[in-house]
Amino acid sequence: MSSNASTLTELLIRERPALLRLVQRILGGDGSAEDVIQSVWFKARGVGNDLCIDNPRAYLYRLASNLATDHGRERTRRARLLAEQHLWGPDEVLSTEEQAMAQDELQRVLAAAEHLPEPTRTIFRLNRLQGLTQAEIARRQGVSVTTVENHVRAALQRLAWARQGR
């Protein structure tokens, strides 16, 4: 394990109760704070020595805060999608043929999404699946908002082509 990783892991063990409280404050009473702390541990263990960490404690707290925020956004997105599923009435049930066509279309789009080039795939996932704004992604990736917009636009175009079967 690298020096940064071992320093962060040891610090995580010492700071765990305070980090857990921070994550619980961010997430509310959702009960998934332990999962976020485990994600922090995995991320901390993967930090290499190519990065100079001047303040490991601040780094660890920022990592926990970011992961908790991402988790909260994902939870909100999933709740919104689940609520939308209940908007469809019994009159709007798809036929078996329509379901098969929709499943085929979904598979084409998912395959196209997996084959997006980097960083387009990462930027698209952060924006459309994790709900981050383009400005947040630009800051996180160290690029301009225009660059993020261009990557999202390119991803949407490729996925639209895949949806149409091109």
Supply the pTM of this predicted model: 0.51
* Rounded-to-integer distance, Cα 68 and Cα 71, Å: 5
Please report, as a single letter, which amino acid is at residue 82: L
Domains and CATH numbers, the chain: 3-85 (1.10.1740.10), 94-163 (1.10.10.10)
Burial class (CB in 10 A: 0-12, 13-18, 19+), 130: middle
**Predicted confidence (pLDDT) at residue 154 exceeds the cutoff of 90:** yes
* Rounded-to-integer distance, Cα 118 and Cα 108, Å: 19
Where residue 109 falls among pLDDT bands split at 50, 70, 90? confident
Q: Would the CA dihedral through 32, 37, 41, 47 be positive or negative? A: positive
Where residue 50 falls among pLDDT bands split at 50, 70, 90? confident
pLDDT of residue 94: 66
